[in-house]
Structure 1
Amino acid sequence: MKRAIILLLSMLVFAAGCGEEEAAETSKEEPVEKEEVQEKDEKQEKTETDWWKKEVESYQLANLPRELVDLEKELVIKEGMYSGNSYDVSAAKDKLNEMPTDAEEAELESAILQLIREDYHQEVETFVTFDPTVQINQDSPNEEVDKPTTETAMSTTHFAILLDASGSMNAISDGTSRMELAKEAIGDFIKILPENSTVSLRVYGHEGTGTDEDKEKSCKSTETLYNGEMNQGKISKALDGVSPAGWTPIANALKESEKDIPENASNAIVYVVSDGIETCDGDPVAEAEKLNKQGVQPIINIIGFQVDDEAQKLLKKVAEAGRGEFTYAGNKQDLDEYWQEEYNRMQTAWEEWQQEGMKKADEISEQLMEQAEETGRSIMDKSDQEFEREEELINYLTNEREMENADNLWSKFYERSTTIWSYGYDNQTKNWGEAYENGNDAWRYFYETGNEKWTEFYNKMN
């Protein structure tokens, strides 16, 4: 029994000894783990507090016409926390106080910029995408005029003349047939057309006779007798060969006249000279609507030569469908007056076109110049403001915190400010000048072209 008690006590002593050893070992390991955690936390805290070492993000500008140069890449870096109207010199100094006294010059430079760097990204985007072109989208009486180019210089107005050659044009008026009077009036009209215009002469109803037996043949008849540059001699010769014959297929003539308009024509005016209504069961109103919606959307004017009241009503509907006008001509004098009114209309239209074009040229040019002026001024003002604040913070670092590595910062920031200021000034001057010159070119184009066209019509009318 005594032995058993002694054995039990021995085992308890042994167990206690093992427990103390394990506890001792554990206590030896704990300080090591705590030191590692503490060191880790200190590193993380240091990383978070060293804000001047962080990489600053930049604005991403999309759809630029070219790559940014190095200076522009610098200018699209996001603004500092105390830039612009958010400037707080006390708060900025407090942030600088977080930096060690022996901070490197590059770190100090980065810190100041992260505090008060101005936001230039919108101005940079404006200059990089700036287009000084004075583009004026304005329809002229005779051609599409944006900016004078080879394409617009080659474009012309096409005048399509559709002449009724049905048998009724043989009727005598004032001792002369309607056909001869129409030919003479058309000839006078052609004389004063713009030199760069093109003309087509199409006749309809010129085959067969006015009998029922020839109706199908006559209603199918429409033919282009001339199509090309304005040439009075050739057109007059083509007119000489026209003789009145059959029925009146106005609808068919309108349908086929689309083929007469050249592809490079900038616009077209169709003149239908007729002494009667459609007699071939066609639908001239529907054909006029279709023609007006094709290509350059030609305007269709109807000249009703000695037509009765019923015919006038029907022909007016055709003109309205073609967004044109109907004019009644009771004799040769009426026809001549109609053409004279057309000349006056063109002359007035050119004058209005000229004035509107010059006005738009001035307005667009001034808007572009103002944009260039304001953008450049904004960059220069921000550069000056940024440098003033940089100087204030540099003085604080050198005088109050006595940081030796801040001694050369002034020259660095002065060079930065000068470079940015020059970027704003140079681009402002360049873009302003180009907008001014382009505005002058566009203004002169409308002035000179308008005068030339107006004089051209004036000389031909007198």
Structure 2
Amino acid sequence: MLLTVCAGGDAAEPGKATTSSAPPSSAPPSPAPPSAAGTETGPGVVAHGLAEVPFEDAPRELTDLERPLLVEPGPHAGDGTDDEVLTAARERDPRTAEEWSAAIPAEIHGDYAEDVKTVVRFDPDTGDRGAEPTDAGPAGSRSVGTNHFALVLDASDSMSGDSGDGTRMDAARTALTGFVEELPGGSTVSLRLDVHAGDATEAGQRESCTTTEVVHSGGADAAEPGDVLAGVRPTGWTPLARAVEEAAADFPDGATDGATDGIVHVVTDGVETRGGDPVAAAERLSESGVEPVVNVIGFQAGDADQRALADIAAAGRGEYTRTGSRAEPVAYWREQNTAMARAWNEWRNTELREINEAGNANKRLADEVGNRVKRTADEEASQGKRVANMLGPDVDEQVRREVWDFFDERGATVRDWGDRTHLANWDAADDRHQQDRQTVHDRGEAKWSEYYERLQ
């Protein structure tokens, strides 16, 4: 049982005007009054005889006010008539005000237990955020963990052919240098040449086809990739399958957690010339622990080669893009940036919608539980005071008044707890709702602006 120095209620004593309970307010909470639940009379049973409701996983210690509310409701709670309650209470043979103040609640104690648990467990969290957009490609981009970009450049002799505006290698240099300059801050990049030894003769074929080499690995903001590319001279044959497969070693340590951790960009003017199977290599790479997306950019590739290069990209879960001049790679990266700006805008809108739904649901829950606790407290107190007014034949006036005061004070105390926790949980939900909205809005806006500015 709960005792307090507060007074109020809506079942009047004889000769007194009826008063209503105070409405919810945002006033600072007053200290909770001590519990008067009484001593235990047996395992799991308190003095009024109602079984306790266990709450073993409570995230914090329960207060002296909350703990006594964790009992099963009385048999006449909410629907018993006042006469039925009085008759049942008399069977316990109460004599003193304290005994009556235990016997009557044993019949009408409200159903608070689950609401108390909800209040104590209340979590204003709005859920996990969805995977952020990444630079995997303009159409079907997948989430990337490390933002590492592994570039594989075909440096075979055929890349010395005319592109209409210099050599194909010149066009590839321009495209890759521009690409590295456009990478977002914090990205890393590696450059592997699929031929870096031997020559295009039969004599140099063996060395050419067994050699691929990483010539740069580091931050995307370094000038070194451009310097390295400037020194590349096309020569030899095309061990494309070997280069694609060995790209798995180009990702930073720790990028093998089973999620997509990077993007491979293969830049070539044709297909394998040494009998390897680059399609199978791309498939194995995409299914490895690294699981990257493999995109293929073909420079002036013939129709047959285009089909083969598209198959490589499909096996690597990426995209194939054909380019025929220096300008087309620029358009390719522009398409990438346009798609990323659009993806960040969509991500922001989706996350804001989910945050709104979760935040509003949390506030509705705080409203529903808080109002139900206050309503239950009012109904219990009102019936308790009505039954107290019927005790004339059983007790003297002093005892009757003490029992009436008990229910009046108890109702005010429980209602106050319901009001305070209602407001606290609603405010916590609203604060978290607004904070998460602002965080997502700022993140999405900044990333959208970053890609939009590149397009300008």
Are 1:327 and 2:321 counterparts? Answer: yes
CA distance in 1, matches of 2:419, 2:238: 71
Q: What RMSD in Å do the two structures reach over aligned CA positions?
A: 2.6
Q: In structure 1, how many angstroms separate the alpha carbons of the residues matched to 2:288 and 2:404?
A: 70
Q: Secondary structure at the match of 1:407?
A: helix
Give TM-score, length-normalised by structure 1.
Answer: 0.79
Moved over 4 A (4+): 51-54, 263-267
Counterpart residue number, 1:233: 223
Tell me the TM-score normalised to structure 2 length.
Answer: 0.80
For the 8 Å contact 1:187–1:232, the answer to whether it is kept is no
The answer to whether the 8 Å contact 1:79/1:118 transfers is: yes
Indicate the residue corresponding to 1:253 in structure 2. 243
**Identity rate of aligned residues, in percent?**
34
Give CA-to-partner distance per residue, 1:168-199, whole Å, 9 cap, x none: 11112215111111110111222222123222
Bigger relative contact order (CA 8 A; separation at least 6): 2
Q: Distance in 1 between the 2:333 and 2:266 partners?
A: 13
Which amino acid is 1:131 matched to?
D
> CA 1:264–1:409 in structure 2 vs 1: closer, same or farther (change >3 Å)?
farther
Aligned length: 399
Is contact 1:142-1:267 (8 Å) kept? no
Q: Is the 8 A contact 1:209 1:245 kept in 2?
A: yes
Q: Give the match for residue 86 of structure 2.
A: 93
Over 3 Å counting, the alpha-carbon distance change for 1:218 and 1:361 in structure 2 is: same
Q: Distance in 2 between matches of 1:253 and 1:406?
A: 93
Structure 1 contact 376–428 (Cα < 8 Å) conserved: yes
Match of 1:149 in 2: none
- 2:129 counterpart of 1:137: yes
Alignment correspondent of 1:411? 405
Unaligned runs of 5+ in 1: 1-46, 144-154
- Equivalent residue number for residue 269 of structure 1: 263
Alpha-carbon contact 1:167-1:244 (below 8 Å) kept: yes
Q: Is the 8 A contact 1:52 1:110 kept in 2?
A: no
What does the per-residue CA deviation read over 1:87-108, in whole Å, with 9 as the maximum and x for residues that have no partner? 33232122123243x6233321
Distance 1:170 1:52 in 2: 91
* Partner SS, residue 270 of structure 1: strand
**Pairs within 5 Å for 1:281-300:** 281-295=275-289, 297-300=291-294
The structure having more radius of gyration, on CA atoms, is 1
**Contact conserved, 2:189 with 2:220, CA < 8 A, in 1?**
yes
- 1:65 offset after TM fit, Å? 2.3
1:379 equivalenced with 2:373 (yes/no): yes
Which string of whole-angstrom CA distances, capped at 9 and with x for unpartnered residues, describes residues 231-272 of structure 1?
152221121222222232333223332333335778422211
Residue 170 of structure 1 is matched in structure 2 by 160
1:195 matched residue in structure 2: 185
Question: Which residue of structure 1 lines up, in the alignment, with residue 211 of structure 2?
Answer: 221
1:340 corresponds to 2:330: no
Distance in structure 2 (CA, Å) of the matches to 1:411 and 1:74: 19
Shift of 1:344: 0.9
Q: Cα distance, 1:54 vs. partner? A: 6.2
* 1:281-321 per-position Cα deviation (integer Å, ceiling 9, x unaligned): 33333332333344564222111111112221122122122
Partner of 1:165, secondary structure, is coil
* Distance in 2 (alpha carbons) for counterparts of 1:270 and 1:390: 75
1:118 — aligned with what? 110
CA contact (8 A) 1:136 1:361 kept: no
Say if 1:53 and 1:107, in contact at 8 Å, map to a contact too.
Answer: no
- Partner residue, 2:3: none
Output the CA distance in 1 between the equivalents of 2:57 and 2:210.
57
Aligned residue for 2:263, secondary structure, equals strand
Counterpart contact for 2:165–2:325, Cα < 8 Å = no
